[in-house]
Amino acid sequence: MASAPSKLYADDVSLVVVLLDTNPFFWSSSSLSFSQFLSHVLAFLNAILTLNQLNQVVVIATGYNSCDYVFDSSSDLNRSFENGRMPVMCSSLLQKLEEFLIKDEQLSKEEPEGKIKSSLFSGSLSMALCYIQRVFRSGALYPHPRILCLQGSPDGPEQYVAIMNAIFSAQRSSVPIDSCYLGSQNSAFLQQASYITGGVHHKPQNLDGLFQYLMTIFATDLHSRSFIHLPKPVGVDFRASCFCHKNTIDMGYICSVCLSIFCKHHKKCSTCGSVFGQAQSEVASASDKKRKTPET
């Protein structure tokens, strides 16, 4: 997506799409309660909107079964109150969020067994990108977009392909994905997303100070980032999931035609239909396939 520079606002006007993890399975086990988390985030949103009159914030809730827009600072409904009335913004956000949670709960009738209780991150990421594309094409001037993922749930390996596709499309339209991981282990998806798109990934040590982390790191506009020290990735977990069983693997087989990844040898590629030859012992050493990440 070629974005003519003349269509951008001044350097520091930003559109922040926040992906909010609302997975109940995660929040019930987290040290930080969901309401505390929300109060940190709401204050952060306020801050973003305060920084510049033209700043925009969109919040997308990532549930267990679904995801939906819960807040858009530019929508007409909110505009009629405009910035003077933050309490209205909060209440409308909270109300929408509650409706979303109830709907999300209704969708999960049967209790999943043994599955990793991840949230629908791929869905919300795609929604965010769709929103940004719409802004790009709206014709008028648009702010610098970026995505901020506030994620706590563990990665769902079955979403691997969808998430990677979303990440690459974000990279193509040069939208950085910032990620703040709130869970206990680290998330490979988020690390890769931020690494590939040039965003910032950070895992706060102390969740009580989440607001300060958000303000110091994630409130930085894209323009200022070029002269400020931000957390750099120490090591990025590049592991991929196989296409056949959705397992996270270190080593596997890769289709030489379409780069699909498999954990076992197959006779035929399930994605593109290419017929493979006999598996030879040295073929297994082709473990480099996980490096399909292009240089950024």
Residue 52 as a binder of another protein (CB under 8 A): the answer is yes
Residue 87 as a binder of another protein (CB under 8 A): the answer is yes
Contact region for another protein (CB under 8 A) — 68-76, 84-92, 159-167, 250-258?
A: 84-92
> In what helix (H) or strand (E) does residue 197 lie, and over which residues does it extend?
helix 188-197
Q: Please identify which residue in 27, 32, 38, 47 interacts with another protein, judged by CB under 8 A.
A: 47
Smallest separation, CB 204 to another protein (Å): 15
The burial of 219, by beta-carbon neighbours within 10 Å (0-12 exposed, 13-18 middle, 19 or more buried), is given as: middle
CA 66 to chain centre: 14
Q: Please identify which residue in 224, 247, 270, 287 interacts with another protein, judged by CB under 8 A.
A: 224
Residue 139 as a binder of another protein (CB under 8 A): the answer is no
Contact by Cβ (8 Å): 275, 267: yes
Smallest separation, CB 217 to another protein (Å): 10
CA 138 to chain centre: 23
Q: Please identify which residue in 85, 172, 264, 268 interacts with another protein, judged by CB under 8 A.
A: 85
Question: Which C-beta is closer to another protein: that of 43 or that of 244?
Answer: 43
Distance CA 108, CA 131 (A): 26
Task: Tell me which residues in 16-45 interact with another protein (CB under 8 A).
Answer: 43
Question: Which C-beta is closer to another protein: that of 80 or that of 281?
Answer: 80
Chain position carrying tokens 């206990």: 184
Smallest separation, CB 82 to another protein (Å): 5
The 3-state DSSP class for residue 80 equals coil
Contact by Cβ (8 Å): 24, 105: yes
Residue 235 as a binder of another protein (CB under 8 A): the answer is no
Smallest separation, CB 228 to another protein (Å): 5
Question: Which C-beta is closer to another protein: that of 32 or that of 43?
Answer: 43
Strand 261-262 with 253-254, pairing: antiparallel
Contact by Cβ (8 Å): 293, 238: yes
Distance CA 22, CA 60 (A): 10
The 3-state DSSP class for residue 150 equals strand
Positions that interact with another protein (CB under 8 A):
9-12, 43, 46-47, 50-54, 80-87, 89-90, 141, 211-212, 215-216, 219-221, 223-224, 226-229
